[in-house]
Structure 1
Amino acid sequence: MELIEGMLARRTTNGPFRPEPVSREHQHTLMRVAQAAPSHFNSQPWRFVLIEHPDTIARVAQLSGDSMTELIEAGVFFERYRKYFRFNAQEMDERRDGIHIDHLPGPLRPFTRQIFSDAGLKLMRQLGVPKKLGEDNRRLVAGSPLLLAALLDREEYRPGELSGFYSVFGLGAAMENIWNAVGALGMGIQFISTPMEIPRQWQAMQALLRVPPELELMAVYRLGYLPEGDARPSIDWSSRHRKTLPQFVFRETCDVPEAGRPEAVDGVTA
């Protein structure tokens, strides 16, 4: 039950970490729980890079911040992910998925419904929101004492073949093990996603990490020890809701939704 409760309490850290280094013991513990994940024929296709050097972290942070600014400035970010945005608690309760934008700079709060419009984007540019979000993103990554790059072995990872699916499935299981373990170590974790949205920035990330041809860079994460407070970025969200059983579970065939509601899981975040 302790393990299950820990999984249900899993969280993503949107705010800053404490500045002290992550101990080598804790780093290796996370690698061991990743290693325990299942993989096709025990192929263990995952590879990881543990990154602590301040110069490398600063460069990753710059790539991440610049990417965020570019995505917001061009309207690409909101256009691509608008279907996941919720702007009030009632909508979140009804849908029980996506993210509730519940923390905004004062000037933007009256315009939440227009955020996807041309007028909303123009206002955000005038208020300097893209640069502000990019700088917030850069600072978050730059203040992280540990970055983790997740890669796959191309001998196993062959997109379009079953081995490609098996490899991604295995890496997902390995990362989920890490995600579930950080809480027990007093740590947090967050996906550094924005450079992946812009091909040239992702190529720069691969060059920075000197990824060889036989490996494929799949994702980068930031990790660290959690502070006492709960500081939030300029624009932040809550994603504590989960769908009810009839919304995602079926009985015997896909024609029959499962009956009933699960126990409350609103303490979980994405």
Structure 2
Amino acid sequence: MGVTPLGRTCHLIVDDKYKILFNFIPKVSCSTWKKVFKLLRKTHSNGHVRYLSTYENDEKKYRLENYRKALFVREPISRTLSLYLHKFNSRDPKRIPIQRAWENMYGKNIVKLYRKGYTTLSSYTEETEPLLNITFSEWIQYITDIGDGIKLSQITDHFLPQHLVSTPCAIQYDFIGHFENLTTEAPYMLKFLGVDNVVAYPHVRESKAVNTLVNEYKQVSFDLINRLQKYYHADYELFGYSFTDTLHSFVAGATDEGE
């Protein structure tokens, strides 16, 4: 929380013509937002997205003080599940290389820590060994066990608490939108930034997030869910989410499924 505004600027997209800073957070439709700002820049420049980290400190300070700053966030437990499904549970064969990469970065440590009697770890290679198939419970246990020992990087920003990526206590955002309300809040943000007549947010497909959450979290112990809530507690407090409401959606979903 003590990070200065100049400390973490690699996630802030800059548009100098419209005086905008947008902070993208991985697993919060960040790829789509990057495309939107790339299209915006194409209307008046070369189309290459530029980040605040590429400016000199005095230029960074000027933009932080004078540009409108926007951010989108996501319900923490939903975001965690999205990361897991994309990186560790490759139901799409095209994503197998992604899963292998993340298993090399984290999976080998996870099985060493949590799978007793695992003997083939030393011979694991991307091409020859079966996938480790890290479970969701193992992933939750791993990130909550390490906790503050995980440092911000271009990889860990996918699952670290969102306040560590966006530093809202240091950067005074003018607009904070919520992923769950993209259909209405994305167009509103573009209007607020004065660019809705230049670019538009793509059509948002109907979400099945609640059903997915219920199905996946049914396999996770309440102790691990509670640990996850504690890990992301600052995100819940800072961004207006309720862990109680999330639990209610689990219960309601489970009840509906049983009827």
Q: How does the TM-score come out when normalised to structure 2?
A: 0.29
User: Larger RCO: Structure 1 or Structure 2 (Cα < 8 Å, ≥ 6 residues apart)?
Assistant: 1
Which structure carries more helix by proportion?
Answer: 2
